[in-house]
């Protein structure tokens, strides 16, 4: 399980009181009972923790799909940051 | 629809206050005669850095994480008070007709904390980081709305905002929903958590807060000659009000009856009370008339008693003008501070408990009555005295006043 997947999972279980056994990577946020406002709120919580901006994520997105999105954005950030940070 | 009724039964109480979580904890705390005021780390650096804070209020632990993530503190307190009140009334939400159950909650400020936190994001140039729940978490109607959601009740649902009279006004409006036959049960009260640097700084700049910060526990001194203001507080109270026939049919034993309600406005000043207390007197007079009572019927008055120089003098004038011989008077603000929109509801709940126990809780920190006030203040220790009726008076900024009369069951 990727770090992003773990982070999403822990945010869901800690914040929304979901049963950890139910929060598996293939589940979508809709499956887990979140509504669109809760999903945006969760995105802001993840942004606070990672600095990665998450906008317009559909409710039908699964945990692993969101994790992949986060990992891709994280990689982009690293690429952009490299010329400066590597000096 | 059932016909009209004159009085309504108080069948349940839920109280969250700086004296503790639960009506019993609040009552027991009041009888100790000690203030709950203390240094507040969240107000550090302000000229007045003291408050009365509800101890150990862990939202997630108390209302459950599933609800906690979207509840601001005053809403969580309202929700917990409502759950306590329903349990105290012996009500089973699966047994009632949800369309016949209403909710009316008072609050003065809603949640400033939420707005300020979100504004910081705007000021930092991050408007897209503002939470989509910034409004729904914090607006004043959310206390009543979340109670309805929690208990799945679908009757009339209102928020009332009459500043420091909000909790009392809510109870009066709830009473009317029962009297008219609109509801069988109404959960009503107030909730507030305004221990925030902005209201603290604002009330200080208004000259309303006690500046006796070196002695937090001795700061608020209602009706005392040396009074210099109140201490900010927080909390919630919900009363289950019920049509007497409905309560009787399910075998509930009322704690007391709410028999009178009166409301008025000073129309004098946006913050200061009418110095002669005319608005407060009008509310009290209306409540007595509504109850079919005469001044001599009232055995004790739970006063607004903020401990500000202006409030206490104006209130004393109001009491003298309504009562040829004012009965025993107490103010809870020396012990619990001033919970703004929740204060009237907490005080109403305590008035009910006072009637049940024939005991008037003390006015903490009251040492020497101001000669111009000249009231029979129940000071320092509780007073045991037979009671059949008591009044609770609330006075709000904007000159909004509300008075309630309760009778023993």
- Tell me the pLDDT tens digit for each residue of B139-163: 999 999 999 999 999 999 999 999 9
Tokens in use for A9?
């999972």
Q: Is the pLDDT of residue A77 over 70?
A: no
Give the per-residue pLDDT at B137.
Answer: 84
Dist. CA A13–CA A47, nearest whole Å: 17
Contact pairs from chain A to chain B, CB under 8 Å? 26
Q: In this structure, are B20 and B129 located in the same domain?
A: yes
- Find out whether B347 and B403 touch, Cβ atoms under 8 Å: no
Let me know whether B267 and B138 are in one domain. Answer: no
B232 and B316 in a common domain: no
CA-to-CA distance for B407 and B297, rounded, in angstroms?
10
Domain of B13, CATH number, reads 3.40.47.10
Q: pLDDT category, A82, cuts 50, 70, 90?
A: very low
- State chain B's mean pLDDT as an integer: 96
Between residues 26 and 65 of chain A, which touch chain B (CB distance below 8 Å)?
37-38, 40-41, 44, 47, 53, 55
The answer to whether residue B145 sits within a structural domain is yes
pLDDT band at B111 (very low <50, low <70, confident <90, very high): confident
pLDDT at position A55 is 81
| CB spacing of A37 vs B133 below 8 angstroms | yes
pLDDT of residue B113: 80
Residue A75: other Cβ atoms inside 10 A: 10
Both structure tokens of A5: 């997947």
Which pLDDT belongs to residue B69?
A: 87
Contact (CB, 8 A) for B186 and B102 = yes
| A38-55 mean pLDDT | 90
Q: Please state, for a pLDDT cut of 90, what percent of chain B lies above it.
A: 89
Residue B33 has pLDDT above 70, yes or no: yes
| Residue A16 sits at the chain B interface (C-beta within 8 Å) | yes
Q: How far apart are CA B74 and CA B329, in angstroms?
A: 29
Partner A, chain B 67-86, Cβ-Cβ below 8 Å: 69-70
| Half-sphere CA count of B65, side-chain side, radius 13 A | 9
Task: Please check whether residues B319 and B211 belong to one and the same domain.
Answer: no
Q: Where residue B241 falls among pLDDT bands split at 50, 70, 90?
A: very high
Q: Determine the Cα–Cα distance for residues B23 and B351; give it in Å rounded to an integer.
A: 12
Whether residue A16 and residue B66 make contact (CB cut-off 8 A), yes or no, is yes
Contacts of A20 (CB under 8 A, 6+ apart): A9, A13
Confidence of residue B1 (pLDDT cuts 50, 70, 90): low
Tell me: do B332 and B376 sit in the same domain: yes
Taking only the tens place, the pLDDT of each residue in B206-218 is 999 999 999 999 9
**Pick from B64, B65, B131: which is nearest to A44 by CB?**
B131
Nearest Cβ partner for B133 among A16, A17, A41 = A41
Q: Could you tell me which of B252, B235, B231 has the C-alpha nearest to residue B189?
A: B235
Residue B94: its pLDDT value, please?
A: 87
Q: In the predicted model, what is the mean pLDDT of residues B100-123?
A: 91
**Total structural domains in chain B?**
2
Looking at the fold, whether B151 and B192 belong to one and the same domain comes out as yes
Question: What pLDDT, on the 0 to 100 scale, is given for residue A87?
Answer: 34
Asked, for residue B404, whether it belongs to a domain, the answer is: no
Whether B82 is covered by a domain: the verdict is yes
Residue B32 domain boundaries = 8-250
Q: What is the arithmetic mean of pLDDT over B272-289?
A: 97
**Would you give the distance in Å from CA B63 to the centre of its chain?**
21
**Is B379 in the same domain as B306?**
yes
pLDDT at A83: 45
pLDDT digits (tens, 9 = 90+) for B351-368: 999 999 999 999 999 999
| B330 part of a folded domain | yes
Q: How far are the Cα atoms of A3, A41, B196, B384, B403 from residue A59, in angstroms, in the given order?
A: 21, 12, 36, 61, 50
- Same domain, residue pair B215 and B306: no
The pLDDT confidence band at residue A86, using thresholds 50, 70 and 90, is: very low
Q: B185: helix, coil or strand?
A: strand
- Report the SS3 class of residue B402: strand
Q: Find the CB nearest A37 among B65, B129, B132.
A: B132
Q: Based on the residue annotation, tell me whether B304 is a catalytic residue of this protein.
A: yes
A80 has pLDDT over 70: no
Among A77-81, B2-6, B332-336, B380-384, the minimum mean pLDDT is found in A77-81
Average pLDDT estimate for B31-59: 97
| Measured distance CA(B344)–CA(B337) in Å, rounded | 12
Please state, for a pLDDT cut of 70, what percent of chain B lies above it: 99
| Residues B35, B31, B207: CA angle, nearest 5 degrees | 30
Q: Which of B199, B223, B250 is the last residue of a domain?
A: B250
- What is d(CA B245, CA B87) in angstroms, rounded to the nearest whole number? 20
Residue B176 and residue B46 in one domain? yes
pLDDT surpasses 80 at B202 = yes
Which of B198, B216, B250 finishes a domain? Answer: B250
Co-location of B187 and B268 in the same domain: no
Residue B82 has pLDDT above 70, yes or no: yes
Q: Which of B69-83, B121-135, B297-311, B390-404 has the lowest mean pLDDT?
A: B121-135
Check: CATH 1.10.1200.10 for A3-74? yes
Give the C-alpha separation, B358 to B354, whole Å. Answer: 6
**Of B228, B250, B272, which residue is a domain's last?**
B250
Is the CB of residue B391 less than 8 Å from the CB of residue B342? no
Q: Which residues in chain A are contacts of B65 at CB distance < 8 A?
A: 14-17
Whether residue A53 and residue B128 make contact (CB cut-off 8 A), yes or no, is yes
Rounded mean pLDDT, B48-59: 96
- The active-site residue, picked from B52, B84, B164, B246, is B164
Mean pLDDT of B265-294: 96
Residue A13 contacts B where some CB pair is shorter than 8 Å: no
CA distances from B302 to A3, A34, B168, B344 (A): 58, 46, 12, 10
For the question of whether the overall pTM of this predicted structure is more than 0.90, the answer is yes
Asked if B70's CB is within 8 angstroms of A41's CB, the reply is yes
> What are the helix and strand counts (H, E) for chain B?
13, 15
B164 carries an active-site annotation: yes
Smallest CA-to-CA distance from B200 within B228, B230, B226 is with B230
* pLDDT at A84 exceeding the cut of 50: no
User: CB–CB of A40 and B131 under 8 A?
Assistant: yes
Sequence length of chain A is 87
Domain ranges of chain A: 3-74
Same domain, yes or no: B51 and B159: yes
Q: Are B30 and B149 members of one domain?
A: yes
Residue range A61-66: mean pLDDT, rounded: 96
């Amino acid at each position: 399980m990727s770090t992003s997947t773990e982070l999403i999972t822990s945010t869901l279980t800690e914040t929304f009181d979901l049963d950890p056994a139910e929060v598996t990577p293939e589940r979508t946020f809709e499956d887990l009972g979140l509504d669109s406002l809760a999903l945006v709120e969760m995105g802001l919580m993840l942004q606070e923790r990672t600095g990665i901006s998450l906008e317009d994520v559909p409710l039908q997105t699964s945990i692993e799909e969101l994790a992949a999105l986060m990992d891709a954005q994280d990689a982009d950030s690293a690429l952009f940051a490299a010329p400066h940070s590597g000096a | 629809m059932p016909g009209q009724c004159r009085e309504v039964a108080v069948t349940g109480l839920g109280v969250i206050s700086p004296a503790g979580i639960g009506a019993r904890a609040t009552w027991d705390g009041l009888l100790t005669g000690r203030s709950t005021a203390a240094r507040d780390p969240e107000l550090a650096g302000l000229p007045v850095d003291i408050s009365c804070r509800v101890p150990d209020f862990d939202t997630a632990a108390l209302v459950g994480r599933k609800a906690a993530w979207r509840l601001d503190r005053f809403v969580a307190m309202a929700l917990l008070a409502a759950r306590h009140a329903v349990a105290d009334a012996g009500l089973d939400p699966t047994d009632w007709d949800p369309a016949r159950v209403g909710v009316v909650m008072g609050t003065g400020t809603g949640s400033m904390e939420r707005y300020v936190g979100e504004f910081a994001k705007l000021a930092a140039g991050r408007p897209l980081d503002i939470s989509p729940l910034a409004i729904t978490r914090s607006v004043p109607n959310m206390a009543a709305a979340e109670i309805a959601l929690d208990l799945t009740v679908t009757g009339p649902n209102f928020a009332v905002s009459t500043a420091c009279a909000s909790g009392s006004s809510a109870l009066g409006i709830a009473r009317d929903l029962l009297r008219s036959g609109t509801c069988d049960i109404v959960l009503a009260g107030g909730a507030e958590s305004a221990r925030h640097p902005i209201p603290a700084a604002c009330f200080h700049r208004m000259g309303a807060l006690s500046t006796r910060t070196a002695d937090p526990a001795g700061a608020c001194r209602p009706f005392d000659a040396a009074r210099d203001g109140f201490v900010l507080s927080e909390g919630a109270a919900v009363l289950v009000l019920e049509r007497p026939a409905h309560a009787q049919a399910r075998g509930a034993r009322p704690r007391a009856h709410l028999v009178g309600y009166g409301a008025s406005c000073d129309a004098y000043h946006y913050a200061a009370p009418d110095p002669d207390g005319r608005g407060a007197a009008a509310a009290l007079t209306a409540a007595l008339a509504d109850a079919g009572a005469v001044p001599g019927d009232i055995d004790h008055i739970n006063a607004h008693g903020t401990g500000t120089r202006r409030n206490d003098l104006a209130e004393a004038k109001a009491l003298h003008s309504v009562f040829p011989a004012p009965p025993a008077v107490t103010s809870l603000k020396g012990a619990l501070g001033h919970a703004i929109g929740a204060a009237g509801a907490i005080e109403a709940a305590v008035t009910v408990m006072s009637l049940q126990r024939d005991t008037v809780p003390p006015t903490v920190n009251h040492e020497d009555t101001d000669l111009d006030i000249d009231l029979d203040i129940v000071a320092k220790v509780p007073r045991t005295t037979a009671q059949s009726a008591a009044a609770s008076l609330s006075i709000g900024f904007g000159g909004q006043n509300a008075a309630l009369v309760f009778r023993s069951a």
